[in-house]
């Protein structure tokens, strides 16, 4: 199911794939929806912006979408009510940050090209 660095991290008993957050949201879509990844990205971005506006932190959890077709994940998703003809595209965790908010990176000013 897991391989590489994530598999090694998962062996640690203190490892939490949701970083100890108290809430998770899964975004799912019909399996035959060719635009599911794009739709999920827009949904997640809006949730992240809304959460931040009220002081809640968030984190995209790529792992939950990546493993969505594994038998183990399908069993879990079925138990939490994801319909069989749907696929979890993304997951996110939400909670109040334990520390200070990180400072934004300096904005780049030379990364836009104009075509006239």
What is the arithmetic mean of pLDDT over 22-41? Answer: 93
Report residue 89 as tokens. 């595209």
Kindly report, residue by residue over 81-102, the tens digit of the pLDDT: 999 999 999 899 999 998 898 8
pLDDT bucket at 1, cuts 50 / 70 / 90: low
Architecture of domain 23-95: 3-Layer(aba) Sandwich (3.40)
Q: How far apart, in whole angstroms, are the C-alpha atoms of residue 58 and residue 81?
A: 23
Structural domain boundaries in the chain: 23-95
Kindly report, residue by residue over 35-70, the tens digit of the pLDDT: 999 999 999 999 999 999 999 999 998 888 888 888
């Amino acid at each position: 199911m897991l391989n590489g660095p994530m598999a090694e991290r998962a062996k640690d008993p203190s490892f939490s794939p949701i970083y100890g957050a108290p809430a998770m949201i899964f975004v799912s879509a019909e399996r035959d929806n060719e635009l599911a990844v794009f739709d999920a990205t827009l949904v997640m971005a809006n949730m992240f912006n809304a959460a931040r506006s009220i002081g809640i932190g968030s984190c995209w959890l790529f792992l939950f979408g990546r493993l969505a077709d594994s038998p183990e994940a399908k069993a879990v998703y079925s138990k939490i009510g994801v319909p069989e003809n749907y696929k979890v595209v993304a997951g996110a965790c939400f909670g109040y940050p334990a520390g200070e908010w990180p400072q934004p990176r300096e904005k780049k000013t030379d990364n836009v090209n104009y075509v006239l």
